[in-house]
Amino acid sequence: MDYIIGFVEVYHDPMSQRGSYESIVQINDFEASERMKVLGENAQWFEDNSPLLPNHKKKNVTGVTYKVVNTAGESGDASPSTPIGVNLPNSNWIRQKGSKSVSLGNIEDAYSKSSGPGLTLEFAHDPEEVKMSEEHGDLAGKLTTALHEVLGHASGVLEPGIAQPSVTLPGYSSTLEEARADLFALYYIMDPKLLELKVMPSLEVGKAEYDSYIRNGLMLQLRRIKPGNNIEEAHMRNRQLVAAWVYEMGKKENVIEKVSRDGKTYYDIKDYEKLRKLFGELLKEIQRIKSQGDAKAGKALVENYGVKVDQAIHKEVLARSEKLNLPPYGGFINPRLVPVTDSKGNIKDVRVEYPDDFTKQMLEYAKQFGFLK
């Protein structure tokens, strides 16, 4: 067993200084961790072959560990809406010496099973896209999380004399860091190296992830925003930034085509290899921004691509989503762990119970564990 407890993530603070309390208690999934540890073992290869500028690559990638875990309970900022992966530490100066990543395996499975195929059927461009999602979507999501957490956050170095990104890129460092990690994952999920390492069966997995990322970044995540609002949350800004940038930069060669059919909008990827190159170009640029502390360029990227919402697309997404009756966020209720004792009071087992009322559970916690009378 392991745990993450403390004031960890800084996404709710525009200055990226103040951490939000979160707690995750987890149990190691030894079998899944064994399958994925090959990524950490080959971290140097990925760094050496990335599209980053030579002086922005780590010369010695060390101390990168990765585990797949099953969550036993969460609280604070990790509950009820939980992350699917965690990379520590957040401080760049510590991360240069190593990092620890965990993927919350049972959370990923639950998210996948609970959402169903409705959104894909509604927003995918054609039956081929739907089929790729059905066959490869689950693995694509898990691999993207692994590449993002294990290799993405662990990659790259700052140039000499450059301060921490929270100082040099105030207000934008979290969004740019998440974009950088996403782009690292997107660039490599279409790389034959993953076939060689036997972590995925074919490049169709990468294509399924590209389809999903563009759908979500340009349309689906807008379900979480009220009409007329801009995007505020760092991860959502990151996803739109990446998707909107590659869409715009690929227009000349029609890398991603915007299709209007029966009054509905779809995005159809025409060339996956060219899209991969665009992901690589943006990865190199965002790493340059971070490595050089280029606040002007960082602000321009986020403000021009990650903040403003296409109001017509937003209205359409809300209307199409409403018919599916699928909430934009998922939340979790903690299992109740009840000790089973023998006649002498020694714990011999733990019985797992599954409450079905979140409010009732919160009131129960307040009564049993609260400090206020």
CA distance 356 to 298: 44
- Is pLDDT larger for residue 256 or for residue 93? 256
pLDDT surpasses 90 at 66: no
pTM of the entire predicted model: 0.88
- Summarize pLDDT for 96-112 with one digit per residue, the tens: 777 788 889 999 888 87
Model confidence at 330, pLDDT cuts 50, 70, 90, reads confident
- What pLDDT, on a 0 to 100 scale, did the predictor assign at position 185? 97
For residue range 180-199, list pLDDT tens digits in order.
Answer: 999 999 999 999 999 999 99
Measured in whole angstroms, the distance separating CA 314 from the mean position of its chain's CA atoms is: 22
Q: State the average pLDDT for the chain.
A: 92
pLDDT at 3 over 70: yes
Residue 284 has pLDDT above 90, yes or no: yes
Report pLDDT for 275.
98
Residue at token pair 């959370």: 107
Where are the extended beta strands (E) located within the chain?
Answer: 2-9, 20-28, 64-76, 85-88, 99-104, 256-261, 264-269, 336-341, 347-353
Nearest to 88 by CA among 4, 214, 148, 198: 4
Is residue 135 over pLDDT 80? yes
Q: What pLDDT does 112 receive?
A: 78
Does 129 score more than 80 pLDDT? yes
Per-residue pLDDT, averaged over 270-291, amounts to: 98
- Per-residue confidence at 149, pLDDT binned at 50, 70, 90? confident
The predicted pLDDT at position 148 comes to 92
User: How does 173-203 read in b/e, with b if 16+ C-beta sit within 10 Å?
Assistant: bbbbbbbbbbbbbbbbbbbeebeeeebbeeb
Query: Which stretches does DSSP call E strand in 174-328?
Result: 256-261, 264-269
DSSP SS3 for 258:
strand
Confidence tier at 307 by pLDDT (50, 70, 90): very high
Tell me how crowded residue 129 is: count the other CB atoms within 10 A of its CB: 21
Q: Alpha-carbon torsion 81, 207, 199, 64, what sign?
A: negative
Q: What is the pLDDT of residue 63?
A: 67
361 vs 299: CA distance, rounded Å: 42
- pLDDT exceeds 80 at position 338: yes
Q: Is-contact 208 133, C-beta < 8 A?
A: yes
State the pLDDT confidence band at 26, using cuts at 50, 70 and 90: very high
- How far apart CA 327 and CA 330 sit, in angstroms, is 7
Between 5 and 99, residue with greater pLDDT: 5
Are 2 and 69 spatial neighbours (Cβ–Cβ below 8 Å)? yes
Cα–Cα distance measured from residue 136 to residue 128, given in angstroms and rounded to the nearest whole number: 12
Over range 36-62, report the average pLDDT: 93
The arithmetic mean of pLDDT across residues 294-308, rounded, is 98
CB 225 within 8 A of CB 267: no
- Does pLDDT of 21 surpass 80? yes
Distance between CA atoms of residues 163 and 169, nearest Å: 10
Q: pLDDT tens for residues 239-269?
A: 999 999 999 999 999 999 999 999 999 999 9
Tell me how far apart the alpha carbons of residues 356 and 324 are, in angstroms, rounded to a whole number: 23
Q: What's the token pair of residue 29?
A: 């999934």
